[in-house]
Amino acid sequence: MSVKIDTIYVCSNCDAQFSKWNGRCLECGSWGTLQRQTIDKKEQAARLADVVPAQIVDLNKIDEADIGRLKSGVREIDRVLGGGLVPGSLVLLAGEPGIGKSTLLAQLVTKIGENNKKAVYISGEESAGQIKNRLNRLGGKINFSFISETNVEKIIESFKQNNDLDLAIIDSIQTVYSSLIPSETGSINQIRACAVKLLQVAKASNIAIIMTGHITKDGQVAGPKTLEHIVDTVIYLENEPGHNYSILRASKNRFGSVNEIGIFEMTGLGFKEINNPAAIFIEAAKEPISGSVITCVIEGTRPFFVEIQALVTKTPFGYPQRKASGFDLNRLQVLCAVLTKRAGVNLTNQDVILNVVGGLKVNDPALDLAVCLSIISSLLNQTISRKTMVLGEVGLGGETRNIIRLAERLKEAEKLGYQEALIPDTDIKSSAIRLKKISNLKELVKVIS
């Protein structure tokens, strides 16, 4: 009796399967990684016949229970996570090398220990002595355990022996390997396999696991982009060159919003939370200057104020330049065209340079009116009061449009002592702030002329 044999070629780097041999893997692009394997179809069919069917669950019979989140003790981190760490979740903290991921996690695990929770820090990049020196520099207490191991099977076994763990830190995922995967540490295949094993143990043991991953130029070798579909939450730690603060934001969150951001300042004792972002993004000025306008943006649930600065000068070239820092350049070009066409502001021979003070990158339609006013202010060399806030979206017809959560922004302006607000023509009222309602850009020009 003949045995039916099937031949396939499997990539040793990414486990992709092909029916014929190629010099290069068509999935991961690796050269010389396809290996020949033979499969007995009869044995394969017998194994499939013994598969136990999956259990069907009736969700209507499941009792609703509130997710008991684990508070980290760092409010900015809890804000980004949606209120705290969810037990049994797998979180990926990504960022460029040297940005401060390990420092932030060292502060986080220390805060967890202060709340009488059991945590463990697993590092494949630093020794126990180096971790202790960092904590001494940060002034934190050593109230957690430490494991210096890179084998994921050994790490998982330690989790099973200590079944009362609340939090585990893996620093970093590209240094962890599985002995069951025949590829080098840090490869895409190893990173995926280790992440899947950690996800399984997190769900089974109800442990919150945070692992770090470096971002490279292509975003693939270190792992963050390849792991986004596996983990529950992906948060990025970013900073701007020349600034002393960092922004923590979520790009994926199964248990909360992805619109929240956390703001930190790097000090000699680690990261310090910024509770009043307006102190960073609005420069203190003794007197107003032309081209400077104050507006309000909302990231998640937090409204905070930013300063928009514009510089309009006559171009020495035949084609005027448009440059923007922290603001969408395409949107700036649209607003310049609308100002020229609808408001009679001639920008055809003017260079326009726009800057969001503080290096913050924003993408809120509510900034449109403030950007237009800052351009007009710089062109006419007229100043805007520092106690005036400008809000509104601008359409292609030069009309102003209402924005979301306008009442919240006005309330925040009232708390900070603003006296006047330029807003779209809506039926909203305010007793503490003088409102000037603008229906189109021509009225905006008259305000400053």
User: Residues 217-237: pLDDT tens digits?
Assistant: 554 434 556 788 889 999 988
Instruction: Write down the pLDDT at residue 152.
Output: 93
Q: How much of the chain is helix, strand and coil, in % rounded to 5? A: 30, 30, 40
Phi then psi for 432, rounded to 5 degrees?
A: -100, -25
Contact predicate 305/294, CB 8 Å: yes
| Helical axes 128-138 vs 101-114, angle rounded to 10° | 80
pLDDT in tens, 393-424: 999 999 999 999 898 899 888 888 889 999 99
pLDDT value, residue 170: 93
Q: Does residue 45 surpass a pLDDT of 90?
A: no
Q: What's CA 281's distance to the chain center, in Å? A: 19
- Residues 6-25, mean pLDDT to the nearest whole number: 81
- The pLDDT, as a whole number, for residue 153 is 93
Please determine whether the domains at 75-275 and 280-448 fall in the same fold group of CATH.
Answer: no
Q: Note the pLDDT tens digit of each residue in 18-31.
A: 888 888 888 777 88
Instruction: Show me where the domains of the chain are located.
Output: 5-48, 75-275, 280-448
pLDDT at position 202 is 92
Say if domain 280-448 classifies as CATH 3.30.230.10.
yes
The residue ranking higher by pLDDT, 38 or 321, is 321
Distance CA 235, CA 253 (A): 8
pTM summary value: 0.70
Per-residue pLDDT, 221: 37
Tens digits of per-residue pLDDT, 142-168? 888 899 999 999 999 999 888 889 999
Given strand 350-356, what is the order of strands in its sheet?
A: 322-325, 350-356, 302-314, 292-299, 388-390, 420-424, 434-438
Q: What is the pLDDT of residues 316-325, one digit of tens each?
A: 888 899 999 9
191, 223 contact by CB (below 8 A): yes
- Two structure tokens written together for 153: 């099977």
**210 contacts 106 by C-beta, under 8 angstroms:** no
Angle of helix 368-380 versus helix 329-342 axis, rounded to 10: 60
Q: Is the sign of the CA dihedral 254, 260, 263, 269 positive or negative? A: negative
In three-state secondary structure terms, 209 is strand
Q: How many CA atoms lie within 13 A of 449 on its CB side?
A: 9
Task: Name the one residue in this structure whose structure tokens are 């009736």.
Answer: 58
Check residue 371 and report its DSSP letter: H
Tokens found for residue 85: 């760490």
Task: State how far the Cα of 301 lies from the Cα of 297, in Å rounded to an integer.
Answer: 10
263: nearest Cα among 22, 52, 40, 74 = 74
Convert the pLDDT of each residue in 175-209 to its tens digit.
Answer: 899 988 877 888 888 888 899 999 999 998 889 99
Name the phi and psi angles at 185, rounded to 5: -65, 135
* DSSP summary character for residue 349: T
Is it the case that residue 1 has pLDDT exceeding 50?
Answer: no
Does a cis peptide bond (omega within 30 degrees of 0) precede residue 172?
yes
**DSSP per-residue codes, 80-122:** HHTSSBPTT-EEEEEE-TTSSHHHHHHHHHHHHHHTT--EEEE
Round the CA-based radius of gyration of the chain to a whole number and report it: 28
pLDDT tens, position by position, 83-128: 899 999 999 998 888 888 989 998 898 888 888 889 999 988 888 8
pLDDT at 47 over 80: no
C-alpha dist (Å) from residue 290 to 63, 132, 287, 336: 61, 52, 10, 18
pLDDT in tens, 256-298: 888 788 888 888 888 888 877 766 677 665 678 899 999 999 8
User: Please, which pLDDT band fits residue 129 given cuts at 50, 70 and 90?
Assistant: confident
The yes-or-no verdict on residue 241 having pLDDT over 80 is: no
Question: For domain 75-275, is the CATH number 3.40.50.720?
Answer: no
Report pLDDT for 208: 93
Give the whole-number percent of the chain exceeding pLDDT 90: 38
Helices (H) and strands (E) in the chain, counts: 12, 21
| End-to-end Cα, the chain, rounded Å | 96
Mean pLDDT calculated for residue range 250-256: 89
State how far Cα 244 lies from the chain centre.
18
Our measurement of the distance from residue 47's CA atom to the centroid of its chain's CA atoms, rounded to an integer in Å, reads 44
pLDDT at residue number 200: 92
The better pLDDT of the pair 225, 360 is held by 360
**Mean of all residue pLDDT scores within the chain:** 85
